[in-house]
Amino acid sequence: MHNDDSTELDSFDYRILQRWQADTRLPAKTIADEIGLSVAAVQRRLKRLRDSGVIRREVAELEPRPLGLAVTCVVMVDLERESAADLERFRRKMLAAAEVQQCYYVTGQSDFVLIVLVSDMEAYDAFTRRTLLDDTNVRSFTTHVTLERVKTGAGLALRDKP
């Protein structure tokens, strides 16, 4: 499904999403009690939110360190040409590159912003060589090595609804 239709979200949906986006291990019963709905109603809404695409997916957030990914870099990439085909080519490359956790196409002096996770600087070097330096359409890029991941994740700021 990807039913992007006129999904009106009410206050209950927001309160469910607030909890669900923080912890999918919560039993529906807990949420139901907190917001004053039945368990079935909460689960019905969760299903609806999944089917409508509001909930993209339910995933586990892993700790990079113990998995050997100690280095996070923010990379600003400037392209030479920006034709639709060029952009699409670069897009695909980023989607295919496992080291690229996130990729944004942006306005401003740079064209793309990447969040790259690698095991060490050697791996980062290999990544840039393979993905950026060898690309004749990459005019330049600047690297910011992360000293601390102050805040991470994909959480959204949900306001309550009246």
By CB under 7 A, name the binding residues for DNA.
Answer: 12, 27-29, 36-41, 43-47
Of 28-36, 37-45, 107-115, 130-138: span binding its own copies (CB under 8 A): 107-115
Instruction: Closer to DNA by CB, 27 or 68: give it.
Output: 27
User: Using the rule CB under 8 A, which residue among 1, 36, 63, 162 binds its own copies?
Assistant: 63
For the segment 128-157, give every residue that binds its own copies (CB under 8 A): 142-157
Closest CA to 158 of 15, 5, 52: 15
Give the one entry of DNA, its own copies, none that residue 134 binds, where binding means its C-beta sits below a cut-off of 5 to 8 angstroms depending on kind.
Answer: none
If one asks whether residue 1 binds its own copies (CB under 8 A), the answer comes out as no
Torsion over CA: 114, 115, 117, 121 (sign): positive
- As a whole number of angstroms, the distance between CA 131 and CA 142 comes to 14
Count of C-beta atoms within a 10 Å radius of residue 143: 14
CA–CA separation, 40 and 42 (whole Å): 5
CB atoms under 10 Å from CB of 69, counted, come to 18
Terminal Cα distance for the chain, rounded: 29
Q: Which of 110, 128, 131, 138 binds its own copies (CB under 8 A)?
A: 110
**Residues making contact with its own copies (CB under 8 A):** 4, 7, 9, 17, 20-25, 52-64, 66-67, 69, 72, 74, 91, 94-95, 98-110, 112-113, 115, 117, 142-158
